[in-house]
């Protein structure tokens, strides 16, 4: 069945998370993503935090589903010949090498453009290809620090805090997907490709624009406020019955939700009480309001609290731990948590595609074994069995 990106070939040179997350999303949307890896080694993520010696890591599997793997020595003359042939058939080149690496291999954008003027050349860099920091390398925590995210995360009496959702890596990858899709759309009008560049710092800055807005509103750096969401009351986490480290809910009440909340927790007697009737009044009496809410939530499980309040129209979410996310019935119903069969590992659980297209449903397939598709890709490029065996003997592939 034809899918959204059927007919688009992506040559994926990326490693670790930012680039692979971009390539995987394009593959989920139907592109033919060919992951080009170093023979004998492959993506460094294959060995990251391995839980068993005979199989690629779960980290690698999380970001490389639905791709094909071609092993190729880009430093050898014949390997470069194969790569040139591949680029001529490609629509997108995706890379996240360190500054200057691809240029030194002889595949800078002007050179690649001569091979294939229609190619979209997408690069993910820590700080981009220009600007004072352009030669610096980056990882997730560096991007969070330099993008301002850590400065507004944590509690007032604590240090700037790293957040585990990968806004620097996967966040950058999703920005790159948008750039690639835009370039492919523009190519329909111009017939030509272009460069797409995404900086990890830039992506994080884009994601914390609300805090940057508040800096301008108040004229000072934003302070860390823990779980308190602005001046909304209730607007934080509340302990629930159970006593576990994640037995909390987050409740956020806007003005029109205050009376439904009071009815839901059995305190309709407080409707009209001037101490709590407006947002400003509740902020002045925040300690009392939080105690009122927490005394009610503390007698109920987080799932019961969520069911009651959400059912009453009050935004409330149980703080799911990772195990609960993996077994959440709503996520399973939406194919966000899916089971996949791997040829070595067997069945494992992974995350599905969050983008739901009615005419282009996603089937999740496992990440490829190292070099698993080298024969079929090379045959597509016109190489014979004899030529492929020679490339293998020379360790070109």
Tens digit of each residue's pLDDT (9 = 90 or more) over 260-306: 999 999 999 999 999 999 999 999 999 999 999 999 999 999 999 99
Strands (E), the chain: 9-12, 32-37, 68-71, 92-95, 120-125, 195-199, 235-239, 248-252, 316-318, 337-342, 346-351
Q: Do 124 and 172 touch, CB atoms closer than 8 A?
A: yes
Residue 37: strand pairing partners? 71
Question: Catalytic residue among 32, 169, 202, 247, which?
Answer: 169
Please confirm, yes or no, whether 169 is among the known catalytic residues: yes
Task: Assess whether pLDDT exceeds 90 at residue 24.
Answer: yes
Query: Are 235 and 251 in contact, with CB atoms under 8 Å apart?
Result: yes
pLDDT per residue as tens digits for the range 155-185? 999 999 999 999 999 999 999 999 999 999 9
Give the mean pLDDT of the chain.
Answer: 97
| pLDDT tens figures, 92-124 | 999 999 889 999 999 999 999 999 999 999 999
* pLDDT for the residue numbered 124: 98
Q: pLDDT tens for residues 297-354?
A: 999 999 999 999 999 999 999 999 999 999 999 999 999 999 999 999 999 999 999 9
Residue 105, by phi and psi: left (phi above 0), alpha (psi -120 to 50) or beta? Answer: alpha
Q: Contact at 8 Å (CB) between 27 and 33?
A: yes
Distances from the Cα of 36 to the Cα of 39, 146, 238, angstroms: 9, 30, 48
Domains of the chain (ranges; CATH) run 9-207+330-393 (3.40.50.10540), 235-321 (3.30.1540.10)
Give the contacts of 364 (CB within 8 A, at least 6 positions apart).
28, 65, 66, 335, 338, 340, 350, 352, 353
% the chain with pLDDT above 70: 100
Of the pLDDT bands very low, low, confident and very high (cuts 50, 70, 90), residue 1 is confident
pLDDT at site 386: 97
Average pLDDT over residues 242-259: 97
Cα distance from N-terminal residue to C-terminal residue, the chain: 31
Q: Which two tokens stand for residue 217?
A: 């509103």
Tell me what the mean pLDDT of segment 79-101 comes to: 96
Site of tokens 């190619």: 119
Question: For residues 25 and 124, what is the distance between their CA atoms, to the nearest angstrom?
Answer: 15
183, two tokens = 């370039």
Measured CA to CA, the distance from residue 70 to residue 145 in angstroms comes to 35
Mean pLDDT of 211-229: 96
- State the pLDDT at residue 99: 87
pLDDT score for 140 = 97
């Amino acid at each position: 069945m034809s899918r959204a990106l059927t007919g688009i070939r992506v040559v994926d040179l990326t490693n670790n998370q930012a680039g692979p997350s971009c390539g995987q999303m394009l593959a989920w949307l139907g592109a033919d993503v060919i992951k080009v890896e170093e023979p004998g080694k492959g993506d460094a993520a294959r060995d990251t935090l391995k839980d068993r010696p005979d199989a690629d890591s779960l980290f690698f599997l999380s970001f490389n589903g639905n791709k094909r793997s071609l092993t190729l020595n880009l430093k050898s003359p014949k390997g470069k010949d194969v790569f040139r042939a591949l680029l001529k058939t490609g629509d997108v080149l995706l890379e996240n090498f360190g500054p200057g690496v691809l240029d030194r291999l002889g595949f800078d954008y002007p050179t690649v453009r001569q091979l294939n003027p229609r190619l979209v050349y997408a690069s993910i860099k820590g700080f981009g290809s220009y600007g004072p920091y352009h030669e610096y390398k980056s990882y997730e925590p560096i991007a969070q620090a330099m993008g301002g995210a850590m400065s507004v995360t944590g509690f007032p009496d604590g240090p700037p805090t790293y957040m585990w959702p990968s806004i620097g890596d996967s966040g950058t990858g999703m920005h790159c997907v948008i750039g690639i899709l835009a370039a492919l759309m523009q190519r329909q009008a111009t017939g030509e490709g272009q460069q797409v560049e995404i900086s990890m710092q830039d992506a994080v800055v884009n994601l914390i624009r609300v805090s940057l807005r508040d800096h301008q509103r108040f004229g000072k750096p934003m302070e860390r406020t823990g779980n308190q969401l602005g001046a909304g009351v209730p607007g934080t986490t509340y302990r629930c019955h159970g006593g576990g480290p994640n037995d909390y809910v987050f409740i956020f009440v806007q003005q029109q939700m205050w009376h439904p909340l009071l009815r839901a927790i059995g305190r309709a007697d407080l409707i009209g009480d001037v101490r709590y009737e407006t947002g400003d009044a509740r902020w002045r009496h925040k300690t009392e309001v939080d105690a009122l809410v927490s005394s009610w939530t503390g007698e109920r499980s987080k799932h019961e609290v969520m069911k009651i309040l959400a059912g009453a129209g009050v935004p409330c979410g149980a703080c799911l731990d990772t195990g609960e996310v993996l077994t959440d019935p709503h996520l399973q119903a939406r194919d966000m948590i899916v089971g996949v069969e791997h040829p070595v590992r067997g069945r494992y659980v992974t995350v599905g595609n969050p983008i739901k297209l009615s005419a282009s449903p996603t089937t999740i397939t496992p990440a490829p074994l190292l070099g698993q598709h080298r024969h079929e890709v090379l045959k597509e490029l016109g190489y014979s069995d004899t030529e492929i065996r020679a490339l293998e003997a020379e360790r070109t592939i």
